Structure 1
Amino acid sequence: MTRNYRILVTVAVLIALAVAGCATTNGPASEESANVVETDVVVIGSGAAGLSAALAAQDQGAEVVVLEKMPLTGGTTRYAGGGLCAAGVDLQLKHGITEDSPEVHFQDMMNIGENKNNPELVRIVTDNAKDAVDWVRTKGIELKDEVVSYMTTYPRVYWVEGGGAGLADGLTETAEGEDIKIELNTKATKLIVEDGKVTGVIAEKDDEEITYKASKGVVLATGGFAWNQDLIKEFAPELTGIKTNNPENVTTGDGIIMAREIGVQLVDMELARIVPLGVKVGRASWTSAPEKIFEAGGLLVNKQGQEFLAGDEQGRDLAAKILAQPGHTAYLVFNQQVVDVVGEDSLERIEGGGALHEGDIAAIAQELEIDAQGLEQTLGEKADDTLYAIVIEPYIHSTTGGVAINTTAQVLDESGEVIPGLYAAGEVTGDIQGADQRNALIECLVFGRIAGESAAAGK
């Protein structure tokens, strides 16, 4: 074979390969390529934190994909009251409240959290709260013309029109209007780590596995773990069996589980905002029994009809005592004299939700399956009265522990070092709310934006 012929054959082969390659590229995508999505930033979760992160990353020029396991955006934000807490907002000044400041807000957050929160992270929230409220209003979300106090030194809570659903819908519409891709019914199951950096997510949708590659970063905004009894039993065993008012299967700790698998540091996992005197009203709503029923002479008994409190339990300790009773349940029993003291209006929601039981001792005992003899002994002279009873089931409003982050929302490993490519915001994080939680939505907006900006910058 001559040299010129070999060259011609080689050229012919190269041309054939090129043509074949073009045909493959332009033809139908293979099953493998169809299940791989490449983007700059992947956000897991579409509540206030996740959507804020997505919008902030998009504003920095990043291409963003949001993964949401539920068929609807919003997470627990959709079911929240919609209160945003910040000092110095124009509505506060309009209503004559001029003495408030981020510093006072900071002190309030630390006090509510019983100083179990990280001051450095709390200060990020309070210093940036006003800017977050102003920012969200630029996204077409309106606030009611009022400002209220909610465990705060000064009134600084502003209600979103339409509540949490209004906030979720407003952020969703803005994200969709800016061509941010939101994948519903898509559950993230595993973080991809390459050379020590998080580079993507494996998710499931319609029984198929999809790989989402993120060239700049992944943001965890998956919410808390109030629905995950395994995590509750592990980190707060005294709360085993506790209910939650969160929508079913939303706060299952998905992000925490994925993060834990790659060595992320978890903090404050034993902490939560707990409502000890929880009352289920209707099919899926919850409220709290008025504490003043106790003060007026109401008694808390178990299924044996016996009192079980030492007399000074409150909050988490009270919840733990109730959860230790048979069925993780107690019964608040009282007579008409108590109703006259507390006022019928304080029982309206409980009665309207079908949770206020009325009758003589035999009827109450039979309906609620309480030991009648034990209840009679406990009530004494009151046993002959017409009685009222409320089933008490403590519930978790929100968990306040989760993955550890720094002030730029970068996730930390067990030694406190930054995990490149991974960021987090919202209830999936810990160390911000502490022992209680009254500033959740503003935290989601503040750290959601920070997480999105950090991810887009590849910090």
Structure 2
Amino acid sequence: MTTPDFDVIVIGSGAAGLSAGLSAIEHGASVLIVESQGEVGGSSRLSGGVVMASRSTLQQAAGIDDAEGNLFREYMSLNAWDLSAGPVRRWADSLGETIDWLQGHGVPFYEQLIFGGDESRPRGHCVEGGGQALVKALAAAYTARGGEIAFGRRVDSLAVEGGDLVGVVSGGETLTAAAVVLASGGFGANPDRLAEFYPSAWVPGESFYIGADGAQGDHLDFAEQLGVQLTGFDRGLRMLNPGIDKVHEAFLPGWTILVDRHGRRFADETAPYGILDALMRNRGNVGYVIFDEACLNPPAALADRYRDAYKQVWPNHAAFRPKHYTAEVMELFAEHERVHIADTVEALAASIGIPDVDLRGEIDRYNDLVALGEDADYAKPAKFLNPLATGPFYAVEVRPTAIAHTGFGLKIDEAGRVLARTGQVIPGLYAAGECTGGISGRVYVGSGSSLASATGFGRICGQTVTERLSQTPVSV
């Protein structure tokens, strides 16, 4: 048999690809990472740099008790167990070790952990310097160990001979390998694929992707070549977007209320974006962010109370501030069809097509709860409760069309091996990160889930791919 050019070829140089390549090199493999863009990092480079994990050395040092299996059970329960439980269990249970491994390779984490979503204890590990620093550290560790990266080389197809995977084809050249790891990211930058595989997130002319241009869904082409099983239709992460621009805003200010098309609140407005995404899906994907003039121009004596408008405090991120819900932006877009401004609540209700008795009733109830100092309806923290009583009043129509993650992709087993439609493992083919399916559910669990999937399964793939090379078990 002809000796392959490399033991392992990894497609994509984001957190998943770099983790897979580095892990494989550590276990004695020769590795080439093939990257379609001109720089390392993919969408991971643009991320906030939070990695979800439990039972890491950092979490334990912070005095946070997190029993084995907690993360797995909470992750599965939040998604009503509609996930690939076997792969999720192995991945979730190994994430603490993954954080230790990343830290050992120079990824600079803060000692402080955060609540990335609605988890029972802090599990968000924040990289000092965000996604850029994560990618930089992994790339440095990978290349220092002899790993190669070929930039500007989009993979055209997998190389298959006699039904067997033998490598990849890029730029008309066949590069051979004993194993291939797909880590090519999602398809958020491809409108056609968004419309086909993530229709709830796709509104022509409005939807936009918070990620790299290289996220074209190449994994779906590769899947067709080898009859790969695909899963995770219409899953991912959508964030609220007012449709007036393509500026990404992750969280709502706490002094807003969010109502549905009937004028009814349905959430704690400071909830994580994954929770709001799921709740919006259940309400036709249309909502209205309501606030008043005091929110935009608060009295001097209350300025600090309105300024402290976010539950999320990240050590690797400047204090969150409104991007859309400001006096300047409202003045600039006052005539936009999605922005409604009125002197009274009744006039505002008429402008957005909600019966005034419903919107007036909801705002009156909210103001009563504010006066009592407790949100008995949705448990928004009291520090964010401010009355909506000063005209003019504002309503901004929002839809979940800012796309941060796509969850439709290749079905994998607990070792990151790709499964065929027949249910059998495809020899030599592995996948990690956003190109996989079955790991991301209907509810995006919270900040750090995506990078956890990328680094966690990347590391698993790098370890288990060497089992194919050596035919000896490798523990994870």
Distance 2:333 2:245 in 1: 19
Q: Give 5+ residue unaligned stretches, structure 1.
A: 1-36, 301-306, 325-329
**Offset, 1:420:** 1.1
**Offset, 1:233:** 2.2
How do residues 241-280 of structure 1 correspond to structure 2 at under 5 angstroms?
241=203, 243-275=207-239, 277-278=240-241
Corresponding residue for residue 89 of structure 1: 56
TM-score (norm 2): 0.74
Distance 1:168 1:203 in 2: 24
Mean alpha-carbon deviation: is it higher for 152-161 or for 178-187? 152-161
CA contact (8 A) 1:41 1:217 kept: yes
Change (3 A) 1:280 1:43: farther
**Offset, 1:87:** 2.2
Distance 2:167 2:455 in 1: 23
Say if 2:388 is the partner of 1:425.
Answer: no
Residue aligned with 1:189, SS = strand
Residue aligned with 1:234, SS = helix
CA deviations on 1:377-426 (whole Å, 9 max, x unpaired) are 337799x9435464635222211221011111111111211111111111
Change (3 A) 1:196 1:351: closer
Distance 2:58 2:421 in 1: 42
Corresponding residue for residue 456 of structure 2: 446
**Offset, 1:45:** 0.5
Question: Which has the larger Rg?
Answer: 1
Corresponding residue for residue 20 of structure 1: none
Distance 2:161 2:87 in 1: 29
CA deviations on 1:286-322 (whole Å, 9 max, x unpaired) are 3333476226xxx67xxxxxx5778759634635877
2:450 aligned partner, one-letter code: A
1:91 aligned partner, one-letter code: L
CA contact (8 A) 1:273 1:398 kept: yes
Corresponding residue for residue 376 of structure 2: none
**Offset, 1:94:** 2.1
**Offset, 1:375:** 6.2
Distance 1:153 1:321 in 2: 26
Corresponding residue to 1:411 among 414, 418, 438: 418
Distance 2:217 2:429 in 1: 17
Distance 1:338 1:285 in 2: 20
Distance 2:138 2:249 in 1: 26
**Offset, 1:446:** 2.1
Say if 2:351 is the partner of 1:378.
Answer: yes
How do residues 17-36 of structure 1 correspond to structure 2 at under 5 angstroms?
none
Say if 2:159 is the partner of 1:197.
Answer: no
Distance 1:409 1:213 in 2: 20
CA contact (8 A) 2:243 2:338 kept: no
Distance 2:327 2:179 in 1: 48
Corresponding residue for residue 88 of structure 2: 122
Distance 2:185 2:223 in 1: 13
Distance 2:466 2:209 in 1: 34
Q: Give 5+ residue unaligned stretches, structure 2.
A: 268-275, 311-319, 361-387, 470-476
Change (3 A) 1:397 1:56: same
Corresponding residue for residue 108 of structure 2: 142
Corresponding residue for residue 33 of structure 1: none
**Offset, 1:162:** 1.2
Change (3 A) 1:412 1:356: farther
Corresponding residue for residue 29 of structure 2: 62
Residue aligned with 2:257, SS = helix
Corresponding residue for residue 22 of structure 1: none
**Offset, 1:90:** 2.3
Distance 2:164 2:199 in 1: 34
Distance 1:442 1:372 in 2: 42
Change (3 A) 1:350 1:61: same
Change (3 A) 1:458 1:280: farther
Give the helix-richer structure, 1 or 2: 1
Percent identical pairs in the alignment equals 29
1:288 aligned partner, one-letter code: F
Distance 1:229 1:333 in 2: 31
Corresponding residue for residue 187 of structure 1: 154
Change (3 A) 1:258 1:104: same
Residue aligned with 2:43, SS = helix
CA contact (8 A) 1:400 1:436 kept: no
TM-score (norm 1): 0.76
Corresponding residue for residue 199 of structure 2: 237
Change (3 A) 1:114 1:75: farther
CA contact (8 A) 1:287 1:350 kept: no
Distance 1:46 1:53 in 2: 9
2:146 aligned partner, one-letter code: D
1:95 aligned partner, one-letter code: A
Distance 2:51 2:339 in 1: 43
CA contact (8 A) 1:282 1:354 kept: no
CA deviations on 1:36-78 (whole Å, 9 max, x unpaired) are x922211001111111111121122221110111111111211
Distance 1:366 1:282 in 2: 14
Corresponding residue to 2:174 among 211, 214, 220: 211
CA contact (8 A) 1:109 1:433 kept: no
Residue aligned with 2:109, SS = coil
Say if 2:309 is the partner of 1:336.
Answer: no
Distance 1:56 1:366 in 2: 54
User: RMSD over aligned Cα, in angstroms?
Assistant: 3.4
How do residues 387-406 of structure 1 correspond to structure 2 at under 5 angstroms?
387-388=393-394, 390=396, 392-394=398-400, 395-406=402-413
CA contact (8 A) 2:87 2:415 kept: no
Distance 2:451 2:262 in 1: 37
**Offset, 1:349:** 2.7
Change (3 A) 1:110 1:429: same
CA deviations on 1:123-142 (whole Å, 9 max, x unpaired) are 11122112111111221222
**Offset, 1:185:** 1.1
**Offset, 1:345:** 4.4
Corresponding residue for residue 316 of structure 2: none
Distance 2:40 2:323 in 1: 32
CA contact (8 A) 1:265 1:404 kept: yes
Change (3 A) 1:364 1:39: closer
How do residues 168-183 of structure 1 correspond to structure 2 at under 5 angstroms?
168-183=135-150
1:407 aligned partner, one-letter code: E
Distance 1:364 1:217 in 2: 53
